């Protein structure tokens, strides 16, 4: 059942935002969902900012109720939003899961599906807004939570969502779906490219350039 009255809010500021409609996997149709949209870009201070918007009959969806922000596993088994991030030309990538409850998860992968929970204290900022027919989630990821890389290397993102209906059936949404079963980890799913921001071109130190 959808939960209204979310109060986790903060102001989002985007630099050169990218917005795209996520596509539902053809094997997992969702009659109660009209669409899912994802927006990615850079916020103040160079943090990676993401907004996911779900439109549909929220009364027929299972939306996790708000809880204190904490790390949790297996969020993908219920309604949640996900971001997979790698640097261009690299096999390693990170996975971030954000639930409407405010719970989150982060994993670091050395290569395809070879990963472990993020060792770093991530503590992302998550905000949720819910109105009749629309659920939005904002997430902010600091640059120092991403793997070190040469300055101005491009990030490649795979943005996705899992939506659970009131019968417990899951639908899978992504920028693009490789052939076969839903697979957010597939290399071809990293369809969005973002240039790393020049956070402070005057005073950036060499150490900051490694972030």
The average pLDDT across 20-44 equals 94
Closest listed residue to residue 53, CA positions, set 163, 143, 171: 163
Please provide the distance, in angstroms rounded to a whole number, between the alpha carbons at the two ends of the chain.
Answer: 41
The average pLDDT across 178-189 equals 96
The average pLDDT across 7-29 equals 75
pTM recorded for the entire structure: 0.85
Q: How confident is the model at residue 45 (pLDDT cuts 50, 70, 90)?
A: confident
78 versus 69: the higher-pLDDT residue is 78
The average pLDDT across 20-35 equals 97
89-116 pLDDT, tens digit per residue, is 889 999 999 999 999 999 999 999 999 9
Is 200's pLDDT higher than 60? Answer: no
User: Which residue's entry shows tokens 């639930």?
Assistant: 99
Q: How confident is the model at residue 46 (pLDDT cuts 50, 70, 90)?
A: confident
Instruction: Say if CB 104 and CB 140 are below 8 A apart.
Output: no
Q: β-pairing, 192-194 with 104-111?
A: unpaired
Instruction: Note the pLDDT of residue 211.
Output: 26
Class of domain 15-197: mainly beta
Q: How confident is the model at residue 160 (pLDDT cuts 50, 70, 90)?
A: very high
As a whole number of angstroms, the distance between CA 68 and CA 71 comes to 10
Instruction: Note the pLDDT of residue 13.
Output: 52
User: Which residue's entry shows tokens 């993401």?
Assistant: 50
The ranges assigned to domains in the chain are 15-197
């Amino acid at each position: 059942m959808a939960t209204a009255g979310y109060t986790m809010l903060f102001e989002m500021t985007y630099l050169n935002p990218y917005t795209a409609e996520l596509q539902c996997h053809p094997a997992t149709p969702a009659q109660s969902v009209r669409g899912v949209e994802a927006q990615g870009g850079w916020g103040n201070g160079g943090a990676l900012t993401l907004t996911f918007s779900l439109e549909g009959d929220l009364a027929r969806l299972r939306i996790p109720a708000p809880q204190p922000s904490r790390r949790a596993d297996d969020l993908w088994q219920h309604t949640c939003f996900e971001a997979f991030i790698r640097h261009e030309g690299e096999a390693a990538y990170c996975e971030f899961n954000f639930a409407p409850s405010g719970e989150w998860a982060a994993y670091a992968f050395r290569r395809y599906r070879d990963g472990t929970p993020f060792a770093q204290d991530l503590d992302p900022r998550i905000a949720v807004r819910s109105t009749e027919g629309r659920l939005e989630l904002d997430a902010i990821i600091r640059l120092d939570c991403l793997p070190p890389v040469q300055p101005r290397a491009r990030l490649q993102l795979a943005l996705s969502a899992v939506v659970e209906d009131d019968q417990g059936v899951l639908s899978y949404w992504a920028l693009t779906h490789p052939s076969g079963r839903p697979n957010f980890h597939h290399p071809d799913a990293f369809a969005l490219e973002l240039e790393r921001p020049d956070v402070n071109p005057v005073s950036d130190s060499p150490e900051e350039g490694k972030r």
